[in-house]
Amino acid sequence: MPQLPLPPDSTLGILGGGQLGRMLSQAASRLGFDVVILDPQPDCPAARVSRAQITAPYDDPDALQALGRLCDVVTFEFENVPAASVETLAEAGALVAPGPTALAVAQDRVDEKTYLNAVGAPTVAFAAVTTLDDLTNAIAALGLPALLKTRREGYDGKGQVWIRDAADAEAAFDAIGRRPAVLEAAAVFQRELSVIAARGRDGAVAVYPLGENVHKNGVLKTTTAPAAVDTATQGRAEAIAAAVLDGLDYIGVMGIELFDMGNSELLVNEVAPRVHNTGHWTQDGCVCDQFEQHIRAVVGWPLGPTQAHARVEMTNLLGDEVEQWRALAAEPNARLHLYGKHDARPGRKMAHINRIL
Ligand code: AMP
């Protein structure tokens, strides 16, 4: 196993070569590391700014062996990494961060909420649903409206359906493919916030100021940060983040999505054991952004500063919105971050712009 802290010149592997992998790779190369990307799509966005790409499925044992041998540390840009892949990487001699427990917790919405509540991070009331009978009982227990979500593999509002009337329960269960699910009580929140937090190899925790998020059609549209919150709310978010990260012995950056219920009461919606879209504002609002922070954590360097030196509004550019790049590049107080994706399919995250407020 490699000695920590890893010196510059070491090699870092990233599973996943989308925009998050690309921005992680850029941050790593700025610190002197070489980066190897594993992604099934040839010429993926991250590979074009990295030293090398292994082009193979994420569960290909030979590819994982090769990545683990090449790299001192391996990390991820997404949470749905099979546990067996983590084992193969570790067997090949690489340190892997975040660890398998954090991935397992984040892959299953019931396990996630159970864990969160156990460490004192409150969530909405919920019930596990495997059968239509379970769903009927859950509706009786939680009341309506309620939100039915698949336990695994939902993102950006996919795999979830609102139930407003008990008569619609079966149709809702059909709509999510009768897969194992969780029924969630409706959160009557004032706004959606998120907090980006990091934990280093020495157990130090660093938390960025809260961001306020606006979604459109289930997809993040803007994050404004630091959010206009009182110190009690920021303090509460920091306490939640520390409990969640410490409880997992977590290494790296985590994104924690929150519902602001008013009176400094926060509920955790979900956690992502990786850099997060709602943390992109840190690239232009902080000295050490979430990508560098994640690299610092996984290679065993001290964590960087998290205070904001500017207020930033981050806007995602989806699909053909990226064609406005000429006008956006001409804005005086903004920084455009393009992901180098060739194909601007509708709804695809193509770029973001950070406007200094
Ligand atoms: P998720 O995929 O869990 O992040 O949910 C996507 C979006 O649905 C969230 O950002 C909220 O706007 C909304 N949402 C999710 N869960 C709930 C809930 N229990 N109550 C109210 N709104 C929710």
What is the 322 CA–ligand 1 centroid distance (Å)? 27
pLDDT at 155: 65
- Distance, in Å, from the CA atom of 124 to the CA atom of 260, rounded to the nearest integer, reads 12
What is the 204 CA–ligand 1 centroid distance (Å)? 30
Q: What is the β-pairing status of strands 349-356 and 312-318?
A: antiparallel
Peptide bond into 61 cis (omega under 30): no
Task: Output the ligand 1 site: residues, CB below 6 A.
Answer: 124, 147, 154, 157, 184, 186-187, 192, 215, 218, 257, 269-270
What is the 178 CA–ligand 1 centroid distance (Å)? 20
Kindly report, residue by residue over 157-216, the tens digit of the pLDDT. Answer: 678 999 999 999 999 999 999 999 999 999 999 999 999 999 999 999 999 999 999 999
Measured from the CA of 154, which atom of ligand 1 is nearest? 2
Closest C-alpha to ligand 1, atom 5: 157
Indicate the angle between helix axes 19-30 and 290-298, nearest 10 degrees. 70
Q: Is the pLDDT of residue 1 over 90?
A: no
CA distances from 155 to 34, 149, 158, 318, 322 (A): 30, 10, 5, 16, 22
What is the 269 CA–ligand 1 centroid distance (Å)? 7
Percent of the chain with pLDDT over 90: 96
What is the 215 CA–ligand 1 centroid distance (Å)? 10
Q: Kindly state the tokens that stand for 355.
A: 């406007």
Question: To test the ligand 1 pocket, which listed residue (219, 269, 278, 316) has its Cβ within 8 A of the most ligand atoms?
Answer: 269
Is the Cα torsion angle 207, 98, 20, 119 positive or negative in sign? negative
Kindly report, residue by residue over 145-171, the tens digit of the pLDDT. Answer: 999 999 998 766 678 999 999 999 999
Residue 299's φ and ψ, nearest 5 degrees, are -90, 5
Query: Locate tokens 């427990």: which residue?
Result: 101
Closest C-alpha to ligand 1, atom 1: 157
pLDDT at 2: 87
pLDDT at 158: 75
pLDDT at 154: 72
What is the 275 CA–ligand 1 centroid distance (Å)? 19
State the chain's mean pLDDT as an integer.
Answer: 97
| 74-88, 113-127, 148-162, 241-255: segment of lowest average pLDDT | 148-162
